Amino acid sequence: MVGVELAYWAESLLRVLGGLVAVLLPAGTVVYLFLFKMMSFMQSRLGPMEAGPYGSLQLFAEVGKWLQKEDIVPTNAQPEARIFKIAPLVVLASTFLLVAVVPFGPDAWFTDFDGGIFYALAVSSVSVLGILIAGWSSANKYSLLGGLRAAGQLIAYELPMVLAVIGVVIQAGTMNLQKIVVAQNAGEIFGWDGLGNPFLLTQFVGFLIFMIAVQAELTQTPFDMPIAESELVSGYMTEYSGFRFLIFFIGEFATAGVFSMIASVLFLGGWGVPFAWFGWTAIDDVDNWMNVVGPLILFTKMIIVVFFVMWVRFSYPRFREDQLQRFAWKVLIPISLANIMVTAVLKVAF
Amino acid sequence: MPKPKVPGLLKGLGVTFSTLVRTATDGAATVQYPHEKETPPIRARGVIALHEGNCTSCMLCSRSCPDWCIYIEGHKELAPPRRAGGAPRKVNKLDRFDIDYALCMYCGICVEVCPFDALFWSPEYEYSEPRIADLLHDKSKLGEWMETVPEAPDLEVGADKKGKK
C-alpha cells in the first residue's frame, strides 16, 4: 500500500531507528509521567520541578548523572567480569526483541509473522536469563537471592500470562498480532459494529489475569520481591553502577511500555479504530494515514494501560514470597484454565 | 441498612487516586523550598543566639554540651566601684564564645542549663556554608542572631504562680 520503495540499507536503518524510538520513547514517557509525576502527586508532592518546565528535562539530567558514574565491577565478581557486564544488556535485548512484533499501523511494523504472540511471550522470558546471571555473577548474597526470586517469580507468572493470551488467540483464531488487531476492529458485537469487538469485553477475565501477570513480570510492586529494597538492598541490581544500572532501569520501564502495548494490542484493539467508522472491512482497505495515526492511538492506549500498572504499583504493599507463588499457582492458573475452556466452548457454540 | 463494604484493595486505589486529584487541584503538601519558604514554628530549634551582656563565662553550657562544640575563653577585669569609695568590682570579660555548628546536634541543653539567660533559641535556619570551618560562629555572629529571637510567648494562665515569689 505504501508507494515508497527504499533500499535495503535505508529500510534497515529506519527499522533500527524506529526500534530505538519504540523502546526509548515509552520508557521515557513512563518514567517521567508516572514514576516522577504521578507517584509524586499520589504522595502529595510535586516531584522534580527544576530541570526544564515542570521538571520535563529531569530525565536527561538523570541519564547524564548515570553516564558520569564509574562502571564498577566488585572484586569478588572479577572472575566473571564479562558475564557481570553483559547481564544488563541481555535484559535490554529482550525488550528490543519484544518490540519487534508489536504492530503500530497497517504497514508500520517491524516484523509481521504468524507466530507473533508466541514469539513475544517466548522472548520476554529471555530477561530472566539476564537477571539470573546478573544475580549470580555479582558474587553477592543479596543479588543472588534477588536473582533467584526473580527467576521463580517470572517463571511462575509466565504461565498465567500465556494461558490468558490463549483465550485471545482462540477468539481471534490467529497468533499473528496484526491479525488480532484486525479481528478486534473488524469485529462486531451481536451485529453492532460501532465499537468493533475489543477483546477487553469478551476476555475481561483474561485481561485481568494478563495485567496481574504483567505486573509480576515487570517486578512492579506488589510483586517486587526480586528488588525488595527493604530486604535485599536492590536485589540483582545491587552491585551495578553507572550506565549498567541505567540499562537495567531503562529495560524495566521500556518493558513496562512494551508489555502495555502488547496488552493494548491483545485486548484494546491496538493501533486500530473500529473499521466500521470509515467503511473498511479488511486490513487492505485501511487508509495510509493510519500509519501515522495508528502509532499515536497505540501510544495513547499504552499510556492508559501503564497508568493502571503504575496506579497499582504505587498503592499496594509488597506480597510475601510464598503469597506470591501461592497466588500464581493456586488462583491465577486455575482461573485462566477455566477461562480457556469457557472461551473454547463459546467459540464452538457461536 | 449498612453501607455495602468496599473491598480494601479498591479502597487503597481510591486513596492514592484522591490524593492525586487533590494534589493537582489544591497543590501539594510540600513547599518548593528555595522558591517559597516555610515559616518555622516560633519555638523551632534553628540556631542558638548569644546575649553577650548576660554571659558570666560560668562554663556551664560548655561543660554540659554533649559534643563539646562550645568554646569559651574569658578573663576577669576590674571595673569602677558602684559607689564612691567602694572596692573595684570584678567582672567577667568574655574573650571568646564560639559554637561550632558543624558539631552541634541541636539538643538545646546549653540553652536549658544557662542560669543567666544568655542563650536563646532562634528559628532561623539558613546559615549553611560552603566551607565547614565557616560553621564556627563567633560571639559577634552569635550576637547578631539575637535579633531573630522571637518574643517569648505568654505563660499559660496560672503558670507564674509557681516557684518562689
pLDDT tens, position by position, A4-51: 677 788 888 888 888 888 888 888 888 888 888 888 888 888 888 888
Structure confidence by residue, pLDDT tens digits, A125-176: 888 888 888 888 888 888 888 888 888 888 888 889 888 888 888 888 888 8
Q: Are A244 and A148 in contact (CB under 8 A)?
A: no
Distance from CA of B21 to the nearest CA of A (A): 8
Radius of gyration of chain A (CA): 21
* Average pLDDT estimate for B106-114: 90
- A257, three cell numbers: 511500555
CB proximity under 8 Å: A 283-322 to B: 311-312, 314-316
Domain ranges, residue B116: 47-148
Of A38, A46, A315, the CB nearest to B28: A46
- A151, three cell numbers: 527467576
Q: Are A155 and A213 in contact (CB under 8 A)?
A: no
- B46, three cell numbers: 534553628
- Residues from chain A that touch B24, judged by Cβ atoms under 8 A, are 41
Nearest CA in chain B to A40: B20
Structure confidence by residue, pLDDT tens digits, A170-216: 888 888 888 888 888 777 777 676 677 777 777 888 888 999 888 88
Of B12, B30, B32, the CB nearest to A315: B12
Helix A204-217 crosses helix A141-172 at what angle (to 10 degrees)?
160
Cα separation of A303 and A314, whole Å? 16
Residue B31 in domain: no
Cβ separation A314–B19 shorter than 8 A: no
- Binned at pLDDT 50, 70 and 90, residue B161 comes out as low
Give the alpha-carbon dihedral of A60, A65, A69, A73, to 10 degrees.
Answer: -60
Residue B110 in domain: yes
What is the domain count for chain B? 1
* B25 has a pLDDT exceeding 50: yes
Residue B76 in domain: yes
Which one-letter DSSP state was computed for residue B72?
Answer: E
Q: Residue A73: helix, strand or coil by DSSP?
A: coil
Residue B123 in domain: yes
Domain at B65, CATH number: 3.30.70.3270
Give CA angle at A249 (A27, A313), nearest 5°. Answer: 75
Which one-letter DSSP state was computed for residue A320?
Answer: P
Helix A141-172 crosses helix A116-124 at what angle (to 10 degrees)?
170
Q: How many CB atoms lie under 10 A from the CB of residue A82? A: 10
Question: Could you tell me the pTM of the whole model?
Answer: 0.79
* B97 has a pLDDT exceeding 80: yes
Residue B101 in domain: yes
Which one-letter DSSP state was computed for residue B102?
Answer: T
Structure confidence by residue, pLDDT tens digits, A216-244: 888 887 888 877 777 888 788 888 888 88
Query: Is the complex ipTM higher than 0.90?
Result: no
Cβ separation A45–B16 shorter than 8 A: no
Residue B118 in domain: yes
Determine what percent of chain A is predicted with pLDDT higher than 70. 97
Cβ separation A44–B32 shorter than 8 A: no
Chain Cα centroid distance, residue B14: 41
Residue B32 in domain: no
Nearest to A239 by CA among A98, A24, A78, A107: A78
Residue B165 in domain: no
Listed in sequence order, the residues at least 6 apart from B111 whose beta carbon sits closer than 8 Å to its beta carbon are B48, B61, B119, B120, B121
Rounded to whole angstroms, the maximal C-alpha distance in chain B is 94
* A2 has a pLDDT exceeding 80: no
Nearest to A307 by CA among B13, B65, B160: B13
Cα separation of A163 and A155, whole Å? 13
